[in-house]
Amino acid sequence: MFEAVAFYLFAFLTIAMFYITVTTAQALYALTALAAGMIFISAFFFILGADFLGAVQIIVYTGAVMALYAFGMMFFDTTRDVKEKNGNKFIVVSLATLAAVMIVAIFMAPIVSTNMQAFYPAIEGIGNTQMVGVVLFTKYLIPFEVAAVMLLVAMVAGIVLAGKKMDLSLTKMSAAQIKEIEDKDKKVLS
């Protein structure tokens, strides 16, 4: 009973928040609604018994990703209204629904057709966090390491792309000035 109430409440809230995110003309409203939607999604993870995933969702999405977006938005002109593509709305909505239904069908086809067996069944009496740790550090160790390397590469890329010449505005400089700076960089590097 409580599960049903919680499910429908959070489903409604999540859909409403994400609907605001994709329809509002203000970038700041979109950011706030997206952050709220992320927190509501973590409620589903808690309902489903994936406690660690819910905690990670709150920490990573609403902590790190939203902070990064808010930081990035300081560079952009977010006060003016966002321009929209004014295409045929019917085509957009029907294409999106069709694609989503197709993707669910693709994922559900193998599940419906055969009896699924759990690879790593949950053991009674062991908490979700402990179980996640056991599976992640035994069966999924290599993907875990690869993900760590990927995050390191992404961090280096972010620093290199956004952190260079923070005191200059490349928008206000002419092409010749930018080229001059780049040539100077090449001399330093070589």
Partner 1 sequence: MEIGLNHYLILSTILFAIGLVGIMRRKNLLLLFFATEILLNAVNIGFAAISHYYGDLTGQMFAFFVIAIAASELAVGLGLLIVWYKRHGTIDLDTMTSMRG
- Residues from 108 through 127 that contact partner 1 (CB under 8 A): 108, 111, 116, 118-122
Name which of 84 and 189 has its Cβ closer to partner 1.
Answer: 84
Contacts of 76 (CB under 8 A, 6+ apart): 27
Backbone torsion region of residue 161, taken as left when φ is above 0, otherwise alpha when ψ lies between -120 and 50, otherwise beta = alpha
Site for partner 1 in 13-52 (CB under 8 A): 14-15, 18-19, 21-22, 27, 30-31, 34, 37-38, 41, 44-45, 48-50, 52
Give the nearest distance from C-beta 38 to partner 1 in angstroms. Answer: 7
DSSP reduced 3-state for 162:
helix
Task: Please tell me the distance from the alpha carbon of residue 186 to that of residue 190, in angstroms, as a whole number.
Answer: 6
At residue 87, the 3 state secondary structure works out as coil
Q: List binders of partner 1 among 77-96 (CB under 8 A).
A: 78, 82-85, 87, 89, 92-93, 95-96
Binders of partner 1 among residues 125 to 184 (CB under 8 A) are 131-132, 135-136, 139-140, 143, 147, 150-151, 153-155, 157-162, 169-171, 178
Torsions phi, psi for 11 (to 5 deg): -65, -45
